Structure formats: C-alpha cells, structure tokens
Amino acid sequence: MDRLRGGGQMDGNDSGSARAALVAALDVVGLAPSERLDRIVRIAREVFDVPFSYVNLLDDTLLHTLTPNVAGEPTSGPLEWSFCQLTVQRPGPTVVPDTLADARTAVLPGVTSRGIRFYAGVPLTMPGELTIGSLCLMDVRPRQFTPQDEAALIDLGRWTEQTLAKGLQHDRLLEVVEALAPPPVHVPGYALAGLSVPYGDLSGDVHDWTVADDAVTVTLADIMGKEQPAALLAAGLRAALRQHEDLPPVAAVGAVEPRISEDLSRASAFATLFHARLTPSTGRLDFVDAGHGLVVHLHADGTSEIRRSRDLPLGLHPEGVPFRLGTLVLEPGDALIVASDGVLDLGDGTIDTLTDIGRTFRRAPNTAAFLETVRLRAAEHAEDDVTVTVLARDDG
C-alpha cells in the first residue's frame, strides 16, 4: 500500500467533506478487491515493469487502497503517510525519479523502511473535477519516466476513473448529499427555516445554519450548474464555511475563497453566496453578498426592501480584493428571505418575483406553510434548483 509518511499536505479541509461523501457513495472501501481494478494495476505493473501499483481513494484523513499487492497488506492508513497527498495537489502526474533525492519524500518511512526509490502517480477525479484518489506506481530502484510513460499513466488513470464511476451508487450519493441539509434549530425570539427543491435528483444549491450562544450563522449559495457536479461543489463550499463558522462573514468568506475558487475554476463554474451572522440580542445582521443579490427584507410596517449584491461571485471575484461588509437590523416583526435564482421561475422571471414571494410569506399562517407553498410551486414551475431560507424575528 502507498503508506509512506510525508511532509506534503492534501488539498485542505475545504473540500474534504464533499470528497468523503463521494468516497462513501462509491461504497468500495473495505470490500474485496474488484477484478476490474485489479486488472488495471496488473496491466500497469506489466507495462511499466514495476513491482507495485495501487488504486487509492482518500477521505478527510485516511488513504484507502482498493488493490493490495501483497497478501495481508494494510489497506488503510493516515493520508500524511502517503505519496497520494502529493499527487492530489496537482492535475497532472506526480513523478519522483529518486525518492531519496527529493526533499518531499526522502524522510517517508516507506522510503526508509520499505526501500521505495521511485514513485509516479496520477490523480483520479469524479464529475465536478473533485479529486478522490490516485493510481500510482512504485519501484525499489530509481528510474526515469519519459513523457510517453506519463501519457500512458494518464490513460490508465482515465480508465480507472471510468471503472469507478460505473460503480457509483446513485441512491447512496443522493442520501449522503441530502444528509448535508441543516437540522431544525431553535433560536429564541426568531424563526429560522428553509428548504431546497432540486430540479433533478441533486441540487447545486446549499443552505446551512449554525447556532452558538451569541451568534447565528446563515448561508445560502448557488453553484452554477445542476446535478452531481454542482452538488459536490456545493457540499465542499458548505464544509469550508463550517470550518470558519466562528469568524465574522468577511473574514470567513475571505478565508475559504482562494481554495473554493480553485475548485470552481477547475470545474469551469462559479458560485453566488450570501453568508451572514446574526446577533440575536440586537437583531443586527452582518453579511457578505458575493454576486447573490436575491434577498428581500420584509419590514414589520408592511414595506419591503430588496438587498442587492455588492461583490462578484466566488470564482469571479478579483484575487486579493476584500469582500465588503453589509449590515442590516431585523427589528421585531421583520423577516429576511434569501433565495436561489431558481425562485425566479416561480414568478415572471424578474427581480419583482422576490417581492411576490414576500407577499406570499406575509399571507401564510406560518413559516412552515409558506415553505410548503414554495415547494409546491417549485415542483410545478421551476426549471432550476430552488432554495429558500427564512429568518424572521418575533413581534416581541
């Protein structure tokens, strides 16, 4: 197995949950080796004349080999013990002609105890350009690797990806992604609820919230695209923001933006985002609106105000430019409705649809009834994912 302690890092925690969810959905870790995958590594050993070849998957912290080469060989180990941590950091092959001569690998236990002197690996990706593992070669002697060798390894990697994708259990993936929906929470003096209605089986929208003693964090994001690729990117964005839920919105979005933008760029996508932090005692809501602009503030006196975006979406926002802070106050009797752009299909397709959604909320007997109305209208009219989050303050 590729258990070689190293000093590199995997691609961070920002997309770890999305990757772990997809690895779980593949449902192959811990099972008997697949003949289809064993065939690939047998051919790899023969083509490149190496003693070892592995197909590896990785989750948040562990690397799992699906193709042990030796009877009784461990099949799981810490990711930081592996060459795979280097391979997943770049899109192309990672080649180490002499592991003792490379500072990244010279101190790995696999080098010092197993005698591994050569490594070559190629990352394995799934729809949405999410890297989930590697196909790798190892030898006990240093060797050169030509451009033709790299091209052949890439071809074997694509074959491996196709083999894994054929085994993807769609129902399992659906369950995992749906499990990322936030659970109901109780915030004294407020009602907080939401729903997401996917256009297909999986949604590229994500809504989330977390509650602490002195703050409530509310998030709604919309990934360009639909179905599995967008859903995986949405899950990664949710996980990244949860890593920084204790930070103010500008700092939190600024912290996750570089890595998320890389993921979005690889998938030729972008994400609009509304990320806010409420102080319940005062009703003050600080927020970042990155290209979202689908927020309506309903005032207790019957008026409403549409809050427009102040920054570009993630993936399009200029590098190094800080996000701008927005602020509003939810007075007693006020409500805030945040929606994805699919909600525009429920009206005339213009921003005025938000005002109509606000009227629907005011007429509804309660938040649950309002959300059920949105659900029914989305099922009938929407041509995109529809997500709505409501944050309402009691009359007091």
| 6: in domain | no
Q: Is residue 229 part of a domain?
A: yes
Provide CB contacts within 8 A for 129, sequence distance 6+: 229, 263, 266, 267
In a domain, residue 5? The reply is no
Taking the CA atoms of the chain, what radius of gyration do you get in angstroms?
A: 24
pLDDT at 281: 95
Structure confidence at residue 8 (pLDDT): 35
CB neighbours of 236 closer than 8 A, spacing ≥ 6?
14, 15, 16, 17, 18, 19, 130, 260, 263
Kindly state whether residues 205 and 239 are assigned to the same domain.
Answer: yes
Please give the C-alpha separations between residue 379 and each of 14, 15, 175, 245, in angstroms, as whole numbers: 32, 30, 20, 32
Q: Which of 118, 151, 171 is the last residue of a domain?
A: 171
The answer as to whether 313 is a domain residue is: yes
Give Cα separations from 8 to 183, 204, 237, 333 (angstroms). 36, 31, 23, 52
- The residue among 137, 171, 205 that closes a domain is 171
Residue 99: partners with Cβ closer than 8 Å, 6 or more residues away: 105, 106, 108, 111, 116, 117, 118, 119, 142
Do residues 188 and 266 both lie within one domain?
yes
237 and 159 share one domain: no
DSSP-derived 3-state class of residue 303: coil
- Tell me the CATH number at 285: 3.60.40.10
pTM, full prediction: 0.60
Specify which residues 139 forms β-bridges with: 118
CB neighbour list of residue 62: distance below 8 Å, 6 or more residues apart = 76, 77, 78, 79
pLDDT given at position 329 = 97
| pLDDT the model gives residue 15 | 52
Residue 44 lies in domain: 16-171
Within a domain: 297: yes
Looking at the fold, whether 167 and 313 belong to one and the same domain comes out as: no
Residue 87 and residue 227 in one domain: no
Q: Is residue 2 part of a domain?
A: no
Q: Which of 143, 171, 199 is the last residue of a domain?
A: 171
Determine the Cα–Cα distance for residues 369 and 52; give it in Å rounded to an integer: 60
User: How many domains does the chain divide into?
Assistant: 2
The three-class DSSP label of residue 179 is coil
Q: Are residues 154 and 284 in the same domain?
A: no
Q: Which of the residues in the chain have pLDDT under 50?
A: 1-14
Q: What is the pLDDT of residue 216?
A: 96
Do residues 142 and 270 share a domain? no
- Do residues 141 and 213 both lie within one domain? no
Please list the helix, strand and coil fractions of the chain in percent, rounded to the nearest 5, in that order. 35, 25, 40
> Tell me, what's the pLDDT at 225?
61
The enclosing H or E element of 233 equals helix 227-242
